[in-house]
Amino acid sequence: MTHILIVEARFYDAIADAELAGAVAVLDAAGATHERITVPGALEIPGAIALAEATGRFDGYVALGCVIRGETFHFEVVAGESARGIMALTLDGMAIGNGILTVENEAQAWARARASEKDKGGEAAKAALAMVALRGSLG
């Protein structure tokens, strides 16, 4: 049975809850077991995944979070570096579905987070499961 770790940035709690609901629904429907940990923000997600991978307990990971553009350069740093960190981990062979939203405003975040709309949490869970399966098929 596939065991997934959901790593969830809780900076925007309500948006995180919506993304989490979509991811859990997909994982449950697929029969995957899952655990969840939370981190303060998107920059901490790659580090948390790397720490979890060292335990050998998980087949794959779902990264959930939200970065909303503000008035400073901080958005570019957080969005770019969290994506870069996740990509580096995937190139090391980890199966990760990236559900970190990078948006201009809260309305865009909600449209992507809600399961009834773009369901990016669910999509990230599907991506993680697909990568776990691909890794297994390559053997």
Domains of the chain, first to last: 3-138 (3.40.50.960)
Contact indicator for 27, 125 with CB cutoff of 8 Å: yes
What pLDDT does 72 receive? 83
Q: Binding residue per annotation — 113?
A: no
Please indicate if the annotation marks 44 as binding a ligand.
yes
Sign of CA dihedral 101, 11, 88, 99: negative
Q: Is 16 marked as binding a ligand?
A: no
Q: Is the distance from CB of 99 to CB of 23 less than 8 angstroms? A: yes
CA 42 remoteness from chain centre = 9
SS (H, E, C) 19-56: HHHHHHHHHHHHCCEEEEEEECCHHHHHHHHHHHHCCC
Angle of the 13-30 helix axis to the 120-138 helix axis, nearest 10: 40
**Which parts of the chain register pLDDT below 70?**
none
Query: pTM here?
Result: 0.96
Instruction: Give the pLDDT score at 70.
Output: 82
pLDDT at 112: 97
What span, in angstroms and rounded, lies between the C-alpha atoms of 111 and 52?
30
- pLDDT number for residue 105: 96
State residue 139's pLDDT score: 75
Give the per-residue pLDDT at 74.
86
Q: Is 84 annotated as a binding residue?
A: no
Q: Active-site residues: which are they?
A: 74
Rounded CA-CA distance 8/90 in Å is: 17
**Using an 8 Å Cβ cutoff, are 28 and 115 in contact?**
no
Q: What are phi and psi of 2, to 5 degrees?
A: -75, 130
- Residues 101, 108: Cα–Cα separation, whole Å: 9
